[in-house]
Each structure stands twice: as structure tokens, then as C-alpha cells.
Amino acid sequence: MGQVEATYELVLDGRRRRLRLKRSGSRARVEFGGKSLDVDVSQLSDAAFSLILEGRSHDVGVSPNAGGFQVVVDGESFQVGLVDPRRDSPSTSGTTRAAGPAAVSAPMPGKVVRILAAEGEDVSQGQGLVVVEAMKMQNELPSPKSGTIRAVRVAEGQAVNAGDPLVLVE
């Protein structure tokens, strides 16, 4: 895999943490949380690694997603956010902001079965705005904040992909 040296800003369990990685072939040195660790890395496939850290063996599967990565370690699943250094904010699907417009986006692919609010309508935080059906389950998506519906981007019966913006509240 050649030489790599990089620093990442990660979001773990809601907290931002810095990780420094220095890798040369199967050997990696990681500085993280005040510790310095030697890691033996074996790449199993595009999406999977075997890591040995201080004698402990870990099987790791990584999948990129909207929020960063889903990382499955020894069968346990974790969400690890990655801060884009160019924008310095974690890219997270369905992220809301306290001020300014907030989008309600589809958390998974599916079909819009009901729209519960119209453009111009005042809504309160937590109020159901759209019902999306996937895998025979209906999921009501709540408003991230109190405000006014600025835009409804979808129609009932429409298919949507994960991350598609559905409604904008301001």
C-alpha cells in the first residue's frame, strides 16, 4: 500500500477527535486520544481489514455512507464521522441547524406515501411532515425545528433515495 501519513478529524459518539495515521505497508502507527499505537494491518478486500493491536485481533469492515463511515468491528457496528478539511464540518445526512433553513431528508431509500404539511404552513418541532415507506414499514419524519415550510420537494407516491431532501423548514 506504500507510505501514507495523514491526520483526520473524526466524529465518534458525537465528539470530535483527532487521529494521526502513519502507515507503511502492513505496519501503521496511530496517535489517538493521547495514545500511540502500533497496528499490524492486513487488507482483506476493498471494504475489510484485519488489524492486530497490542496482540488483539480485530476484524474490521468499512462502508462509506452519508455521515462518514459505518465501521463494523468484530461484528459490532459504529458510525464514524469524517470532517471534510475543506469544509470543516462533518457531512451528515439529515443534519439540522439551529438557525437558518433546515432540510428534512430521506433517511433511507423508499416511497413517499403521505405529505402532512403544505408550503407556507407553520409547524412545530417534532411535528410529522412526511411519511416514507420502505421495506413494508412506514416512517414518519418529524420537523427538526419550529418554523414555516419553505418548500416541499416531493409528491405522494414518489420514490426517493437516501439523503434526498424532502421538505425545507425555515
Please report, as residue ranges, which positions from 28 to 57 form the binding site for another protein (by CB under 8 A).
Answer: 28, 30, 32-33, 37, 39-42, 44-53, 55-57
DSSP 8-state secondary structure symbol assigned to residue 109: S
Residue 128 touching another protein (CB under 8 A): no
**Count of positions on this chain that bind another protein (CB under 8 A):** 83
Enumerate residues 6-25 that contact another protein by CB under 8 A: 6, 8, 10, 12-13, 17, 19, 21, 23
141 neighbors 169 (Cβ within 8 angstroms): no
Cell output for 97:
441547524
Q: CA distances (Å), 117 to each of 97, 146, 152, in order?
A: 20, 13, 8
**DSSP classification of residue 143:** P
Question: Binder to another protein among 69, 113, 115, 127 (CB under 8 A)?
Answer: 69
Instruction: Find the shortest distance in angstroms from Cβ 124 to another protein.
Output: 20
In the bound complex, what is the minimum distance in angstroms from residue 145's beta carbon to another protein? 15
* Distance in angstroms (rounded) separating the CA atoms of residues 2 and 27: 10
CA-CA distance, 132 to 113, in Å (whole number)? 6
Per CB under 8 A, the list member of 98, 99, 118, 135 interacting with another protein is 135
**Does 75 contact another protein by CB under 8 A?**
yes
